[in-house]
Amino acid sequence: MRKAFWKADWFTALLVALLFLFSANSDLIQSLERRAYDWGVRSSSRVPSDKVAVIAIDDQSIANLGRWPWPRAIQGKMLDILAAGQVKEVGNTVFFFEPQVDAGLDYINKIGAILAESSLKKSNPAEWAKLDALMQDALLHLDNDQQLAESMLKANDVLLGMFFELGEPQGKPDGPLPEYILKNNLTNILGNEDSFLPIPSLGAQYPIPAIGSTAVAIGHLNATPDVDGGVRTEPLVIGYFDQYYPSLSLMLAAKSLNLEPKDIQVTLGQGVKLGNLNIATDPALRMHTFFYGDRDGKSAFQVDSFYDVLSGRIPAEKYRDKIVLIGATAAGVGASQVTPISAGMAPVLTLAHSVSSILKQDFFVVPGWGLWAESGVFLAVSLYLILLLPRLSAGLAAAITGTLFVLLLATHYILMTTQAMWLQLMLPAALLLVGHLLVTTKRFLLTEKGKIKSDADSAESNRMLGLAFQGQGQLDMAFDKFRKVPLDDSLMDVLYNLGLDFERKRQFNKAESVFNYMTEFNPKFRDLEARRAQSRAMAETIVLGGPSGRSNDSTMKLDQAGIAKPMLGRYQIEKELGKGAMGVVYLGKDPKISRVVAIKTMALAQEFEADELEDVKARFFREAETAGRLNHPNIVTMYDAGEEHDLAYIAMEFLKGKDLTGYTKQPNLLPLPKVLSIVARVADALGYAHGLNVVHRDIKPANIMYDPESDSVKVTDFGIARITDSSKTKTGMVLGTPSYMSPEQLSGIKIEGHSDLFSLGVSLYQLACGKLPFEGDSMAQLMFRIANEPPTDILSINPNVPPCVVAIINKALAKKVGDRYESGGAMAEAIRQCAASL
């Protein structure tokens, strides 16, 4: 009988080809194309322009000149130095969107206004003239924007950046752009209404007039990441309603050739002409930038520290007749970009690659016939899979497929490295591999049908071997053999007894696996559901004991009928209370004295590497002993500590109420007097502990328990942070709460009680206004702000916070340890005095 066509190999290949055709523009395929593109870029070799140099605002400069942003007069001084060195031009990537007003400038203006209205000018002209001259000199030194503008005007070679809000405009602009922006508009445009247009924008951010009007040119610094977030192209032109504006890289290249915006010729949908330089682009006028690889372990471009040039260590003559780019490379200043040669490239370096690509004509080109070539290759691979592959033997098919795949990769590689030409060949390459695998796998599966009969013959032998292993107590090997036997009613009886054997050995997780396997055949078998539930509960309690054992939806209920309550040490486990960062918290009972306790477990063997496990265990019991000596009405009492099955546990006082996490956001904030009362008692507790040389290390709302009914406050988890200090879990995560850490704690130095007072200050701030004093888009940014920047003014969040509370918070959050409260008792006294004055 003739085989149905949908079972044929050629039909399978046709379906695969159609699937790939329709997914050609998917993120997966396009990301694959970009990875191949990056491989080609890294393999290509070009020499960058020696006319481009970079002066970096790096970590060394910030360490010597102070926290960024600096007074703009410093950048003006740099321009004066470069002008003396006779640079060709300077491209500054720092944005000047807002005025920089020195705090003293306002006071000088106010004093000047008072003097102008006073009678001093008439009564004592000479004295008034001296004061006026002093005022004018102060204004000159404090007006950073004016100093920068004067330096730019004298240099007459500085180009600045602007930024467009990309998007399709729906109407007309809010108003015309300033004249110093309009003069950069490109007017030499070739094309018609059917041409492709550059990327549109609907808004613009540009330098303030005082600075922007002194720049010789302004270009945009917009980046257009690909689907995978990588920056590979430079949008040379961006459309703003009916106007066209160049990128800063294009303007830098133009000015270096002594060309004006009117000399730049734009051909819509094709490219840009700069003098005798023709820059081929994609239809949206984006250039495929060439990224130059490092040479001998050094950056492709000459990169010097801003501070070294400013201080004279590097002479300005070094930059004579060069294009100098100034921009940030320091950590936490600006956002780095993913490029083909770097996972974190500073934008100023990306700009350097773009300028050099323009001047040296090193950009990559997508040829006009590229789409036809890519389509032809895809069609050829599809025909090979549909017509030829089904007729070949397995060995010959593998050889031909391998040869074609290598040929596609080699073509991609050679075109990029020798011709700077990009063809997207990863779609046909992926089709070739996947299509070959699916067709050959289908063949293999069909031949496997013939093996079913022989497998049935071996089922009985596996059953007998399983029973033999079970009789010898080798339950794991028995289960492995039973799973090779087809399930039926007789095997269900055997498996049920195997599950009971696992339970008798207290291997509840393995018993659960057996019962789960049985459920696939008959979930109603005997009391299978009850057995599964019991094994799951016991496995969570005794075997796993860690935070990752189960989801929150499977919280254990040990009070169900038929489930024996397990023991942990001498404590009987009643139920699960919750899960923390390293373990589960249970409600327990000491049967001998009927004391109800909370038991916090820590699965140390699961969370720490074997080479540090013994040290962590020793530290656990040492810190538990230290914390157990604390006896204070506002500190949770610790009764006992132990270990069972590599599960460390601490038995402590069972508390009513809940932690303060629920009161840290609007609209659940507690009344301020209540917050002050709670924090004062916590400060008392910390003062007591610090007096015994015990530092908490992890003060935060989650570690402060509060019962509204009894108005009791208790600090929990003394010593837990020290147990995990300087250790990493198997997942690589350092335990701790960075938002509440002190600057010295982040730096890794030895800390004292003042660190706890800083964390308590963060908690007070959050409980008072519902926000954290330090926030960041990333962990690195958050840590930088804690260590270097003042907290967000709490009055900008909650203007009703009393001045005395603001003062307490500011003192507690002081960067220097010596500027904080000398002890927890001193902080508590200050809080109570403040509360009494409200």
Q: Around Cβ 502, how many Cβ atoms within 10 Å?
A: 21
| Cα–Cα distance measured from residue 163 to residue 772, given in angstroms and rounded to the nearest whole number | 30
- CB of 184 within 8 A of CB of 245? yes
The CA angle 161-166-167, to the nearest 5 degrees, is 160
Is residue 242 annotated as a catalytic residue, yes or no?
no
DSSP strands (E only) in 393-502? none
* 482 conformational bin, left if phi > 0, alpha if psi -120 to 50, beta if neither: alpha
What's the longest Cα–Cα distance across the chain? 123
| Cα–Cα distance measured from residue 462 to residue 735, given in angstroms and rounded to the nearest whole number | 48
List, as one string, the DSSP characters of 477-491.
HHHHHHTTS---HHH
Q: How far is CA 332 from CA 276, 328, 410, 778, 788, in A?
A: 40, 9, 40, 9, 11
- CB of 34 within 8 A of CB of 232? yes
- Please tell me whether residue 592 adopts helix, strand or coil conformation: coil
Torsion of CA 448, 451, 453, 458, to 10 degrees: -130
- Exactly one of 143, 145, 698, 717 is catalytic; name it: 698
Q: Around Cβ 99, how many Cβ atoms within 10 Å?
A: 14
In sequence order, what are the residues at sequence separation of 6 or more whose Cβ sits closer than 8 angstroms to the Cβ of residue 358?
A: 249, 250, 253, 274, 277, 279, 287
Q: Please, how many CA atoms are within 13 Å of residue 367, restricted to the half-sphere of its CB? A: 12
Parallel, antiparallel or unpaired: strands 264-267 and 243-246 = unpaired
Q: How far is CA 728 from CA 352, 546, 650, 723, 778, in A?
A: 40, 16, 21, 11, 20
Tokens of 777: 């888009």
- CB of 583 within 8 A of CB of 546? yes
Beta-bridge partners for 345: 337
Using N-to-C axis directions, what is the helix angle for 489-504 and 475-482, rounded to 10°? 160
In degrees and rounded to multiples of 5, residue 33 shows phi and psi of: -60, -40
H/E stretch holding 52 reads: strand 52-57
Sign of the four-CA dihedral 297, 301, 305, 308: positive
- CB of 770 within 8 A of CB of 796? no
Catalytic site positions: 698
